[in-house]
Structure 1
Amino acid sequence: MNSRHVHLSRNPRPGRPRTVTSVRRLILRLAEENPTWGYRRIHGELTLLGIKLAPSTVWEILKAEGIDPSTHRSNVTWATFLHSQAEAILAMGFIETVTLTGQRQYILAAIHHAHRNVRVLGTTAHPTHAWVTQAIKNLVMDLGDAGQLTAIKFMIRDRDAKYPAVIDEILSQAGIRTVLTAVRTPRMNSIMERWVRSLRREVLDRTLLWNEAHLRRALREYEQHYNHHRTHRTLQAAAPLRVVPEPLNPPQLEPLRVRRHDRLGGVLHEYQHAS
C-alpha cells in the first residue's frame, strides 16, 4: 500500500451534511397538513420561508418516512372532507310522515355541519319540483338576510328524484356547490340522518299529528327546542344557538330552584332556573 492511498483513505471527501432536524420536522409537518402538496410544492414553501434546500432532499426525507413525495397521497377521505369543511357545509334531506287523516307529508330540512342548527324549509303533501325550487330560493334568501350566505360553500344531498336539477343552478349562483351522496349510502349524509332519527324519536313517534297544520306547528316547536335548548355532545353540551353558561358557585347551589317548561303538550321538556 503506497503513501498516497493511505493519505486518501484517512481523509475521505465529506458528503452532503444531514438536514437540520427542525427543517426535517417542518417538511413532515407540511406534508401532513397539506395532503395535496407534492415535494416540489413543499420545497417552494420552504423557499418562501428562507430555507435553502434542494428539491431532491425534500423528496428523500419524505420517502424515508414512508410518505409518498408525489400528490398521489392527496386522496382525501369523505370523513376528512366533512371535518375540514364543516363550517362551510349545509346538508339537506326529506323526511316522510303520515298524519291521522292518512295523508303522507314530506318535510324538507337543512342542517349546518359545524353548529348543528337546523332549518325546517317546509312541509307539503305534494313535493313538486316547483315547491322544492321555491323552498331552496327561500333558503338562499334567508341565508343572505342572516349574513351567512358567503360562509356556505357546499350543500350535501342525496339523489332523490324530488330534487329538480334547477336547484343546483340556484345554489351555484349563490356560490354553493352541490355534493351528491353515493347511491344507497345514507352515512354520507350522516349529520342530516342523525337529525332525522332525533326528530322521529323525540317528536314524530310520540305525537298524534292531526293534519298538515298541526305538523307544521310541531316542527316549529321542535326547531326552536333543537336550536336553542337541546344539548349536543359534539358541541360540548351546548345547543346550536346557545352557549354553555358559566358553572354555578357552591353558594348558588344551596337555594337551587329549577322549573320545567313543556313544549308540544309535554312531549318535550326544558328546564330553567326559576326567577
Structure 2
Amino acid sequence: MIGLLFFALAVLASPLKSKMRLEAENAVLRHQLIVLRRRLPGRVQFANSDRWFFVQLYRWFPSILQVLTIIRPETVICWHRSGFRYYWRWKSRSLGGRPQIAVGLRALIRQISVENPLWGAPRIHGELLKLGFEVAQSSVAKYMVKRRGPPNQGWRIFLRNHAPEIAAMDLVVVPTVGFDLLYAVVVVRLDRRDLVWINVTRNPTAEWVARQVTEAFPWDEAPGYMIRDRDCIYGTIVTRRLRAMGIRDKPTAPASPWQNGFAERLIGSIRRECLDHVVVFGEAHLRRILRSYSRYYNDIRTHRSLDQDAPVSRPVQRTGSIKSFPILGGLHHHYARA
C-alpha cells in the first residue's frame, strides 16, 4: 500500500520534472539492473566504468541520488571525491624541470647544517661549490634542517671551544710493597686528554706541587684555567704560582669529585690499566712505571672521545707486515706495520 502511494506521488510529480532529468534517472535505474544481472558471487561488484557512469551523472544531475537503491548516496559522493583527487594529482604531475639532487648530497646538506648551526643557506651553498657540487641555493635551503629557535651552540660545542684553555690536576695515592704510601701528581689537558705531566714523591708539599706545575707548562704554553680539588696540599704557594703563570685557579666544590671528571677518569684508567696489576717497590720504580704508561697513554692508546685516536694523533698505517711490541712488560701491546 505504501509502495503504491509513493508510485502515485511520483507519477503526479513527473510532469514537473524536466525531460533530461527523467532520462538521467531512467539511465541510472537501467544501469543498476545491469549491475544486478551480472550475478557475481558475494557482494555487488562495481567496475571503474560503473563508478565513472554514476559519478558523471551525479555531476550533471545531483537528483539521481534519490533513485539509487543498490548503493548508498555517500558512496557515490566518495567516488566523486576520489576522482577529484586523482584528477588533480594527474594535473599536478611533474612535467620535467629541475632534476632532483642525489640522496647522498641531501644527507651532506643536513650534516653540514647540523654541525654548523650558525651557517645559513648561502654559506652552505658556497661550501658545497668548493666541494665540487653544482646545486642551487634554493635546493640547499630546502634540505637544511629546520630549527624553531635562533641558531645557537650546544653544551658539547661550548665545552669543546673552551677545552684547549683548561687543564686539571689531582694526586694519586699508591701503596708500596712495604705498605708505605707514595704520591703521584697528574696533570691533564682537557682538549686532547693528553697527560702532560706525572711525577712521584714520598712527602708532597705545596712547594713540590708548585714546582710540578711549573715543569708541566712552559711559560708560553700555560692554560687559562686549572681545575683542582680542595686538598690542603694546594696551599698559598700553589695559588700564587698559578697566578704568576697567568692561570686562573678553579677549585671544585667540597666533596664534589665529579666536577674534576677528566682528572678522575684519567686516574681511574691508570689504576685499572697499570697500578692494579703491578707491585710497587719504591719511588723510582713507580716513577718509571708511570712514565712508561704516560708514553703509552699519549702516543698509542686510543680514546673513544677522540674518535678512536690517541692524544698525540697516530697516523693510519695501511702497508707492511703487522708486528707486536710489548709495553709495561707485556701488560699492553702496541701494533704497528713495519
TM range (shorter): 0.5 to 0.7
CA distance in 2, matches of 1:101, 1:110: 27
Render the CA deviation track for 1:27-71: whole Å, top value 9, x for unaligned.
xxxxx98xxxxxxxxxxxxxxxxxxxxxxxxxxxxxxx899xxxx
SS in 1 for 2:264: helix
Say if 2:312 is the partner of 1:232.
no
Query: Does the aligned pair in 2 maintain the 1:118–1:227 contact within 8 Å?
Result: yes
Query: Does the aligned pair in 2 maintain the 1:132–1:164 contact within 8 Å?
Result: no
Query: Does the aligned pair in 2 maintain the 1:207–1:267 contact within 8 Å?
Result: no
Paired residue for 1:198? Answer: 269
Report deviation, 1:138: 2.2
Q: How many residues align?
A: 190
Paired residue for 2:237? Answer: 166
CA distance in 1, matches of 2:207, 2:245: 19
SS in 2 for 1:114: coil
Unaligned runs of 5+ in 1: 1-31, 34-64, 68-75
Query: Does the aligned pair in 2 maintain the 1:159–1:180 contact within 8 Å?
Result: yes
Query: Does the aligned pair in 2 maintain the 1:120–1:219 contact within 8 Å?
Result: no
Residues 241 and 80 (structure 1), Cα distance of their counterparts in 2 relative to 1, 3 Å cut: closer
More relative contact order, 1 or 2 (CA 8 Å, 6+ apart):
1
The residue type paired with residue 300 of structure 2 is: H
Paired residue for 1:38? Answer: none
Paired residue for 1:134? Answer: 211
Unaligned runs of 5+ in 2: 1-116, 119-147
CA distance in 1, matches of 2:158, 2:225: 11
SS in 2 for 1:106: strand
Give me the CA root mean square deviation: 2.3
Paired residue for 1:116? Answer: 193
Greater helix share, structure number: 2
Paired residue for 1:102? Answer: 179
Note the 1:1-275 alignment, pairs <5 A: 82-140=159-217, 143-144=218-219, 147-149=220-222, 152-245=223-316, 248=318, 252=319, 257-273=321-337, 275=338
Report deviation, 1:82: 4.0
Render the CA deviation track for 1:229-268: whole Å, top value 9, x for unaligned.
000111111111123426x3xxx5xxx6311111221112
Residues 83 and 185 (structure 1), Cα distance of their counterparts in 2 relative to 1, 3 Å cut: farther
Which has the greater radius of gyration? Answer: 2
The residue type paired with residue 176 of structure 1 is: I
- Give the % identical residues: 32
Residues 80 and 169 (structure 1), Cα distance of their counterparts in 2 relative to 1, 3 Å cut: farther
SS in 2 for 1:205: helix
